[in-house]
Amino acid sequence: MGKKRQHHEEHVDETWLIPYADMLTLLLALFIVMFAISKVDQEKLAKISQQFNVIFSGEKSIQNNGGSSTNQFIETGESTDKPDESAGKTEQDTMNEIKKTLDAKIKQDGYDDKVKVEISKDGLGISIQEAILFNSGDAEVLTHIHPLLISISEMIRNLDNNIRIAGHTDNVPIHNSKFRSNWDLSAMRAINVMNFMVKNGGINITKVSIQAYSEYQPKSTNLTKEGRAQNRRVEIFIVRKYPLSTNIK
């Protein structure tokens, strides 16, 4: 007796309907959004478009107080990291005033040939020659210069700018019981000036850093006695927070 064949009903694979339905839903949502934004102000639409370009290009929005800066971007139509020209002008005015006051103080104290104050595109620099800061080959800050360092500290300690203190030497090698090289000497001189200004001048220690250059950033020639004297120095530099614009004076 022949076996009966069992016929199984074949079902058509309909799983493709799910992504198809999702696609239709997305298309419907897209048409609704397009219809809605067609009614809004064209200027706002352009700003939204700019923000979408940022998002799709993979750039990250700046977070402010735990939230996205997208709304701020859309409202202003400008990048939130655009330099603040008003703040830059205020910063420049402050540096000009510090320079004016310091120049007068330096001249009054008779140090105008040993201390120079300059303003550059990067900030305000105060260069103090070794002759009035330290004994030759030593890094201990001399007592008679304390009042000037305190005056400088009082003028800059309330600034929100970072402060760099850098030590420099001439190219005459040094090797004694205290210092193995000019690197050691330049570093310790910067450290001691920093420590004095923090402890006695009230400089914010979180804003200050030290640098040591040894003989490798000379200000003058090392072929003359006068040139070497200019190269042996400590520089106190107040770093700009805002780029110097050409219209800031």
Rounded CA-CA distance 127/117 in Å is: 6
| Pairing, β 233-239 against β 208-212 | unpaired
Number of H helices, E strands in the chain: 8, 7
Sheet holding 115-119, edge to edge: 115-119, 123-129, 233-239, 163-168, 208-212
Burial (CB count within 10 angstroms: exposed 0-12, middle 13-18, buried 19+), residue 175: exposed
Rounded CA-CA distance 158/78 in Å is: 31
Which residues make Cβ contacts (< 8 Å) with residue 4, sequence separation at least 6?
A: none
Backbone angles phi, psi at 176, to 5 degrees: -140, -165
Length of the chain: 249
Quick one: three-class SS letters along 171-220?
A: CCCCCCCCCCCHHHHHHHHHHHHHHHHHHHHCCCHHHEEEEECCCCCCCC
Residue, of 90 and 19, whose pLDDT is higher: 90
Confidence of residue 173 (pLDDT cuts 50, 70, 90): very high
Identify the CA nearest to 212 among candidates 236, 186, 192: 186
Confidence of residue 85 (pLDDT cuts 50, 70, 90): confident
pLDDT of residue 65: 46
Quick one: three-class SS letters along 149-160?
A: HHHHHHHHCCCC
Give the tens place of pLDDT for each residue, 106-125.
999 999 999 999 999 999 99
Q: How many CB atoms lie within 10 A of CB 66?
A: 5
Instruction: Give the three-state DSSP class for 118.
Output: strand
Query: Given a cut of 50, is residue 19 above it in pLDDT?
Result: yes
The CATH-assigned architecture of domain 85-239 is 2-Layer Sandwich (3.30)
Mean pLDDT, the chain, rounded, equals: 82
Q: How many CB atoms lie within 10 A of CB 178?
A: 13
Query: Given a cut of 50, is residue 69 above it in pLDDT?
Result: no
Which residues make Cβ contacts (< 8 Å) with residue 61, sequence separation at least 6?
A: 54, 55, 68, 69, 70, 73
Tokens of 199: 């402890």
Residue, of 53 and 192, whose pLDDT is higher: 192
Listed by start position, the domains of the chain span: 17-76, 85-239
Cut 0.75: pTM above it: no
Residue, of 56 and 216, whose pLDDT is higher: 216
Query: Given a cut of 50, is residue 134 above it in pLDDT?
Result: yes
Q: Are 163 and 203 spatial neighbours (Cβ–Cβ below 8 Å)?
A: yes
